[in-house]
Amino acid sequence: MAECGCTGPQKTFEGMSPAYKRRLWLVIAINAAMFVVEIVAGQVSGSQALQADALDFLGDTLTYGISLAAIGASIAVRTNAALFKALTLFGMGLWVAGSTLWRVFFIETPTAEIMGAVGFMALAANLASVLILVKYKDGDANVRSVWLCSRNDAIGNVAVMIAALGVWGTATGWPDLIVAGIMATLFLNSAWLIFRQALHERRAVSD
């Protein structure tokens, strides 16, 4: 890739590209807008899955900003940024898992129509983000974490729409809670992948 900033086929992309930075700014704007839309819709509809997805949008907005700031910094700064993002994802995963378990005992049937409509909007936004970033899905832990977060969002929105269909078909809140639990697992898995890569890159430099 001529614009990836690589000097050889073995060099890991570190985000040092004006084109990549422009795309990252665009994705930040998309995520910030969808956080506002989904957090309001989640409260109005009573959907735990929508609120979990809104939290993911907020986390992505903040961590993408950290990723942008860390581009071009030392390996220590970049891996610290990646580790912070892993910790953030882990925290979100625990929060979603805990709140979902709590809702098991206080089940409310969310509004399927709002879930479906907003889920479709969020899916469109996240598919756009994935297409914007797909060219840069491989790179160091900092770059890789951006791609994983965008991928998670797209998967999460498909899951929210499936949950909306389940809520509409069963007239219960269980599909919403199940999808929220799956999303919590996805957050935790991504946190582990980012954490492992960041530690690997740090050890490779120190050796």
Of the candidates 157, 91, 154, the residue with the CA atom closest to the CA atom of residue 127: 154
pLDDT at 5: 46
In the numeric block, the tokens 């929060």 are attached to 95
Q: What is the mean pLDDT of each run of 10 residues along the chain (207 residues)?
A: 45 81 92 89 76 78 84 80 80 72 57 73 86 83 78 74 72 71 77 82 73
How many alpha carbons lie under 13 Å from residue 52 in its C-beta half-sphere?
Answer: 36
Which residues fall within 8 angstroms of residue 11, CB to CB, at 6 or more apart?
none
State residue 29's pLDDT score: 94
Rounded CA separation 59/44 (Å)? 21
